Amino acid sequence: MAIVSIPNAVATSERPAKSRRINRTRLPAALALLPTALIVLVVYIGCMLWTVRLSFTSSTLLPKLDWVGFAQYSRLFMNDRFLVSAENILIFGVLFISGCLILGFLLAVFIDQNVRAEGVFRTIFLYPYSMSFVVTGVAWQWFLNPGLGLEKLVRDMGFESFTFDWLVNQQMAIYTIVIAGLWHGAGLTMAILLAGLRGVDAELWKASRIDGIPVWRVYLSIVLPLLRPMVVTATVLLAVGVVKLYDLVVAMTLGGPGIATEVPAKFVMDHLFERNNIALGTAAATVMLITVVAILAPWVYAKYIRPQGRPA
C-alpha cells in the first residue's frame, strides 16, 4: 500500500494543505519501503507463481514451459515416498508442536518457582537451540545408534537384553526425529513462555492464594489463558520449523531406514537437485504451499478479516 501512495503524493496538488503535508512526510517512507515491496512482489510472490507454473510442465533438468496439466500431481499422489513423507510430516508436526509446548511450559513453570541458579538452568535448557539442526541430527544419530550409543552403553553396564533400536527400526525411526526435534525446540518455547510468566501480575497470585486455589490450578486456568499470545507466537515459530524440516532428517537418518523418515521438503530438494525432475519437485512444493495456506487461511480469516466485517 506504500506503493499506491506515491502517485497520490504527486497527483494531489489540488487537495487541501493538510493532506498534502501528510503525503509529503509519507513520501520518503514510501520510497524507503519500495525496494522491500518490490523484493516481496518479485522474489517471493514471483518465485511462488513460477514454482506453481513449473509444476504443470514436464521440466526435468532445466525449466521448460510446456503444459501437461495435472500429470505431475497424479504421479505425485501415486508415489509411495511422497505419501510416506506426508504422513511423517503430520506425525512430526503434531508431536513436535504439542510436545514442545507442553515441555516448554513445564520447564518455564519449573524455572518460575524461583529456583536457585536460575540462570544456569535457563542456559542449559536454551542451549540446544543454539545448535544447528545438522549438529543436533549427527549428535542424536550417534547417541541412538545401537552399536555406538545408548543401547551399547546400557548393555556394557551389564543389561544384556536392553534394546533401544528406534533409529534403525522402520516403524519407530520417525519418533527419534521427534525426540531430537523436541530436545532442540523445547528450550526456545520455554524462553518465550517464561517471558510471559514473568509478565503475569503478582496481584493475581496473591488473590488466588487468598482464595485457596491450588497452584497447578492457577497455572492451568488463570495463567495459561493469559499466556495465549506467547503460545501463539511459539506455535507459529514451531510450525515454521515443521514445514522446513529437512536438515535434521538429512543429518540423522537420510530419510531411512528405507523411506521411513522421508519428509516433503526432502522430497522436493531431492527431485529438484539430484534427480533432475524439476516438475515433480515443484508439484510437491506446491502441495506443501497449498497445505500451509489451507491451515493458515481460517486463522487469518478469524483474526483479521471477520472482525472488520462485523458492525462496531
Partner 1 sequence: MSLKTRVSAYTLAVALIASTGALAQKAEVLHWWTSAGESASVKVFADQYTKAGGTWVDNAIAGGANARAAGINRIVGGNPPAMMQFNTGKQFDELVTNDLVRDVENKAKAGKWREIMPKPIVEATVRDGKFFAVPINIHGQNWLFYNTKLFKDAGVEPPKTFPELIAAGEKLKANGVIPLALGGQPNWEHNLFRAVLVGNGGADLFRKVYGSRDQKAAKSPEFKEATELFGKMRALVDPGSPGRNWNDAAALVITNKAAMHFNGDWAKGEFTAAGQTAGNEYGCTIVGKEPRIVIGGDVFVFPTTKDKDQLAAQDKLADVLLDPTTQLEFNKKKGSIPVRLDVDVSSMDVCAQKSAAVLKDPANQVEAMELLSTPNFSGAMQDAVTQFWNNPNMSADAFVEKVVAAMQSAS
In angstroms, give the least distance from the CB of 224 to partner 1. Answer: 39
- Indicate whether 12 belongs to the interface with partner 1 (CB under 8 A): no
| Cα distance between the two ends of the chain | 24
The three cell numbers locating residue 300: 487469518
Per CB under 8 A, the list member of 132, 199, 258, 303 interacting with partner 1 is 258
Closest approach of Cβ 47 to partner 1, in Å? 14
User: Using CB under 8 A, which residues numbered 227 to 256 contact partner 1?
Assistant: 252-256
Asked whether the beta carbons of 166 and 173 are under 8 A apart, the reply is yes
> In 3-state terms, what secondary structure has residue 253?
coil
Q: How many CA atoms, within 13 angstroms, populate the side-chain half-sphere of residue 12?
A: 17
Is position 75 an interface residue for partner 1 (rule: CB under 8 A)? yes
Among 7, 69, 147, 307, interactor with partner 1 by CB under 8 A: 147
Q: 63-83: b or e for each residue (b if 16 or more CB lie within 10 Å)?
A: eeeeeeeeebbeebeebebbe
Among 98, 130, 221, 276, binds partner 1 (CB under 8 A): 276
Shortest distance, CB of residue 257 to partner 1, whole angstroms? 4
User: What's the rounded Cα separation, in Å, for the pair 141 and 143?
Assistant: 5
Cα–Cα distance, 254 to 173 (Å, whole number) = 11
Query: Shortest gap between Cβ of 101 and partner 1 (angstroms)?
Result: 29
By CB under 8 A, the residues from 105 to 144 that bind partner 1 are 141
The x, y and z cell numbers of residue 210, run together, are 487468598
Which of the residues 155 through 184 are near partner 1 (CB under 8 A)?
165, 167-168, 170, 173
Q: Distances in Å between the alpha carbon of 48 and those of 23, 55, 68, 274, 275?
A: 33, 11, 19, 21, 21
* Number of amino acids touching partner 1 (CB under 8 A): 37
Site of interaction with partner 1 (CB under 8 A): 58, 60-62, 75, 78-81, 141, 145-148, 165, 167-168, 170, 173, 252-260, 270-271, 273-277, 279-280
